Structure 1
Amino acid sequence: MNYTTQMDAAKKGIITPEIRKVAEKENIQIELLRERVAKGTVAIPANKNHKSLNPEGIGEGLRTKINVNLGISKDCCDVEKEFDKVKLAIDMKAEAIMDLSCYGKTEEFRKKLIDYSPAIIGTVPMYDAVGFYDKELKDLTADDLFRVVEKHAQDGVDFMTIHAGMNLETADIFKRNPRLGGIVSRGGSILYAWMELNGQENPFFEQYDRLLNICQEYDVTLSLGDACRPGAIEDSTDPSQIKELMTLGELTKRAWEKNVQVMIEGPGHMAINEIQANMMLEKKLCHGAPFYVLGPIVTDVAPGYDHITSAIGGAIAAANGADFLCYVTPAEHLRLPDIDDMKEGIIASKIAAHAGDIGKGIKGAREWDNKMSKARNNLDWEEMFKLCIDEEKARRYRESSMPEDEKTCTMCGKMCAVRNMNKVMEGKNINILREDD
């Protein structure tokens, strides 16, 4: 039986190789996964032209996935250095990579990335449009924008961020409700500017069926972008954000009618006490579609530490239903991240995702922690290292400061609670000041 997309196959009762693979990875019943893909609450981004893909599922009942942003810019356009980041992201088992390249040989970098990467690949075609045509923003036509989308789809991009919810109505809401931080989405701001400069409706909203036809042909998952995501905690959950989210919910249903998979992108900067409500709103307004969040970053005052502020928000978001976390590095708001920044961001995001999985009861999530707890109780350092989210750092820290009693660490030495409880529970003597018997 023929099918056009993963969703089309799932609706027809077909178990695709991608559905089978994801079911094995997630230890979930194949039929249950198929039902969720058919319903739209799980997406399996898998472009027909991405031949090196090792598929992942994003959504209801599955592990929280993480995305790594990278790509060349005018100020940092070393392709080889940027590809070193690709290799690191894959080595660290990030499930997705977004190529946000916006200058120079974007096509060359994108094709190399797709050929190499087993991870899901995403892009924002709007970033590429100005450079692709060597035209100023005002001079780009709707046809120009759609040709870039189709080129990315042909190249094998698995999911694309398209800011289709930034329409004239949303723009009017934004104008009537001034923000402290304005519009901070790069793609959203570019589209808003294009609309203002040309006095026209957003082509991706106005010709939405044309966009869906491209996605359907190549099985591109549509990541409906949040042009009005808050860039300051003061702006979160405001009329612009909620109006756009309502529009995205309507666009989600239209995409599903054409068997196009959808993810919804979300905040952004957000006060910690608003995160739970925002997760509920997205799931309600967007009919349970997978939710992809940047952070949320829970305070605006920590440049250099935004991998921490986002991990705090990401853990809360994931525990309350977010399905996909975009990593944030210490370089956020400051510069393009380097390799060390990337590693810090990936680790922070993986911690947040795993903490969220424990909170929402994902099958098997606690087992990892329970194994670590057992190893700690046994003072089995080798097993602890193997279970670490970052084995290299854990080993380096321990080896930099070794205790007299090799079973303990230099924090407590022979006063180690675990050491002494193990001994006393075994009926042994505890020597703290002298050598053991």
Structure 2
Amino acid sequence: MTLLEDAVNGKITDEMKVVAQKEGLDPEYIRRGIANGRIVIPTSPYRDVKLCGIGEGLSTKVNASIGSSSDISNIGLEVEKAKAAEEAGADTLMELGTGGDFLEVRKEVVDNTSLSVGSVPLYQAFIEAAQKRGSITDMTEDDLFKATEEQAKLGTNFMAIHTGVNNITLDRLKKHGRYGGLCSRGGAFMSTWMLYNEKENPLYSEFDYLLEILKEHEVVLSMGNGMRAGAVHDATDRAQIQELIINTELAEQAQNEGVQVIVEGPGHVPMDEIETNVKLMKSMSGNRPFYMLGPLVTDVAPGQDHIVTSIGASASSAAGCDFLCYVTPAEHLALPNVDDVREGVKASKIAAHVGDMVKLGKRDNDLDMARARCNLDWEKMYSLAIDSQTARTIRNDRAPEDEDACTMCGDFCALKIVNQHYDLAK
């Protein structure tokens, strides 16, 4: 029995109890959410993981993506990045390696983190085809499903699978065109293979078989967003919406077969279209957990795209998005290093909190911080900070003579002046 089947049959499992305790909710709420497809809990029969729930009524979760490339491949570096992401507060990890011995990289990453780990098995299938047969167009359907099963057996908890890249979607893409091209690597791989071989996407045509593999190994299906926009001017276009239609139909089938499902969303979206995208995704999918890849709200800030993303991610979470994929300062420029990973996670964690203040009305920590600041209680402020270490380091580096104040205000701290003369505390 899968976790979803247990939920449908009325059973509250240990995983549901753990998530309920973390979220401060009734376990029955979690069970019902899983049963109706509005909550998922990534887990695995092959390893213990730090459980987190993703979906309706739960705090917004943050994913950190790492992985080698054809230019830079270092197993130790990827393990270090995985550990840095977990220490910085990431809720899940995606291992997306495409260079060097990427199978060994994935194994080492999985073995060195307690987080749920996601992957894109399509990458492995296409890259191995290129290495063994000379071209990505020489991949076979068997290669694709073999890679999926291999990665599941490593203890992968969720997989981005590009089921919605089918012939209908490609027709929409070709007819309408794109300013920013096709930025999804999975979408590029699969569409090229389909056009060259004049075949339908096996992940779509053989979806029943795919579900058998995912169900056997208790893998959450994340409906890949192969048609996502790589430029804000391409957001919410016909190809993206066509893929969404396909993915939401398949998500319903997967749910009925006992496989937990997440629906992925676009990557570059202007601010005024974010709420529309979230509500459209939620409405069409029956309020399934929605995984937003970013989003980036402008295309002109390379080197600062973690900030660009935090702006879009805050709006996405506030509108109802459940799961955010971080972006690092290296986005569009280079393979992220360890510091980039940390900064990306921190920015998205802040965005998730800001969104939850609206979506869930969770503002108690902000109220506690206000009181701590009013009382000039620095240790309390550090304990409440999302990134307490950085806050403490900055203050200590520029330590004031007056331990109550800070070096920005010095002798003329507004709070200290007011506290000396009258009491405004609530």
The 8 Å contact of residues 54 and 118 in structure 1, kept in 2 or not, is answered as yes
Identity %: 45
Partner of 1:106: 102
**After the TM superposition, which of the residue ranges 410-419 and 54-63 deviates more from structure 2?**
410-419
Partner of 1:207: 206
Measured in 2, the distance between the counterparts of 1:112 and 1:31 equals 36
Q: Indicate which of 360, 378, 399 corresponds to 2:375.
A: 378
Aligned letter for 1:203? P
Measured in 1, the distance between the counterparts of 2:45 and 2:174 equals 41
What secondary structure, in the 3-state scheme, does the structure 2 residue paired with 1:84 have?
helix
Q: Deviations over 1:211-246 (max 9, x none)?
A: 111111011000001111111000001111111111
Say if 2:234 is the partner of 1:235. yes
CA-CA distance at 1:373 after TM superposition: 1.2
Q: How does 1:392-403 map to 2 (within 5 A)?
A: 392-403=389-400
**After the TM superposition, which of the residue ranges 6-15 and 384-393 deviates more from structure 2?**
384-393
The 8 Å contact of residues 89 and 346 in structure 2, kept in 1 or not, is answered as no
The 8 Å contact of residues 255 and 262 in structure 1, kept in 2 or not, is answered as yes
CA-CA distance at 1:369 after TM superposition: 1.4
Aligned letter for 2:50? N
Q: Indicate which of 111, 123, 126 corresponds to 2:122.
A: 126
Measured in 1, the distance between the counterparts of 2:420 and 2:29 equals 48
Partner of 1:323: 322
Measured in 2, the distance between the counterparts of 1:260 and 1:222 equals 7
The 8 Å contact of residues 52 and 116 in structure 1, kept in 2 or not, is answered as no
What secondary structure, in the 3-state scheme, does the structure 2 residue paired with 1:351 have?
helix
The 8 Å contact of residues 268 and 297 in structure 1, kept in 2 or not, is answered as yes
Unaligned runs of 5+ in 1: 428-437
Measured in 1, the distance between the counterparts of 2:153 and 2:172 equals 36
Residue-pair matches, total: 421
The 8 Å contact of residues 331 and 337 in structure 1, kept in 2 or not, is answered as yes
What secondary structure, in the 3-state scheme, does the structure 1 residue paired with 2:320 have?
coil
Partner of 1:293: 292
What secondary structure, in the 3-state scheme, does the structure 2 residue paired with 1:88 have?
helix
What secondary structure, in the 3-state scheme, does the structure 2 residue paired with 1:337 have?
coil
Aligned letter for 2:61? K
Measured in 2, the distance between the counterparts of 1:130 and 1:103 equals 12
Say if 2:417 is the partner of 1:420. yes
Partner of 1:219: 218
Partner of 1:140: 139
What secondary structure, in the 3-state scheme, does the structure 2 residue paired with 1:296 have?
coil
Say if 2:339 is the partner of 1:343. no
What secondary structure, in the 3-state scheme, does the structure 2 residue paired with 1:244 have?
helix
The 8 Å contact of residues 137 and 196 in structure 2, kept in 1 or not, is answered as yes
Name which one, 1 or 2, has greater alpha-carbon Rg.
1
Q: Deviations over 1:115-174 (max 9, x none)?
A: 332111000011111344533211111111111111111111100001100100000010
Partner of 1:278: 277
Q: Indicate which of 400, 403, 411 corresponds to 1:406.
A: 403
Say if 2:70 is the partner of 1:71. no
Partner of 1:54: 50
Say if 2:257 is the partner of 1:261. no
Give the TM-score normalised by structure 2. 0.97
CA-CA distance at 1:106 after TM superposition: 2.0
Moved beyond 3 Å, runs of 4+? 130-133
Measured in 2, the distance between the counterparts of 1:329 and 1:291 equals 21
Measured in 2, the distance between the counterparts of 1:172 and 1:131 equals 25
CA-CA distance at 1:370 after TM superposition: 1.5
Say if 2:184 is the partner of 1:185. yes
The 8 Å contact of residues 52 and 115 in structure 1, kept in 2 or not, is answered as no
Partner of 2:250: 251
Measured in 1, the distance between the counterparts of 2:15 and 2:108 equals 22
**After the TM superposition, which of the residue ranges 132-141 and 179-188 deviates more from structure 2?**
132-141
Aligned letter for 1:69? S
Q: Deviations over 1:20-50 (max 9, x none)?
A: 111111111011110000000001111221x
Say if 2:85 is the partner of 1:86. no
Give the TM-score normalised by structure 1. 0.94
What secondary structure, in the 3-state scheme, does the structure 1 residue paired with 2:363 have?
helix
Aligned letter for 1:402? A
Measured in 1, the distance between the counterparts of 2:387 and 2:155 equals 31
Q: Indicate which of 36, 41, 59 corresponds to 2:38.
A: 41
Partner of 1:7: 4
Q: Deviations over 1:269-306 (max 9, x none)?
A: 01100000110000011111101011110000000000
Instruction: Give the CA RMSD over aligned residues.
Output: 1.3
What secondary structure, in the 3-state scheme, does the structure 2 residue paired with 1:52 have?
coil
Aligned letter for 2:337? D
Measured in 1, the distance between the counterparts of 2:332 and 2:423 equals 54
1:102–1:378 CA distance, 2 compared to 1 (3 A):
same
Q: Deviations over 1:43-91 (max 9, x none)?
A: 1111221x23121100000010000100111211111011111111122
Aligned letter for 1:311? S
Measured in 1, the distance between the counterparts of 2:423 and 2:250 equals 64
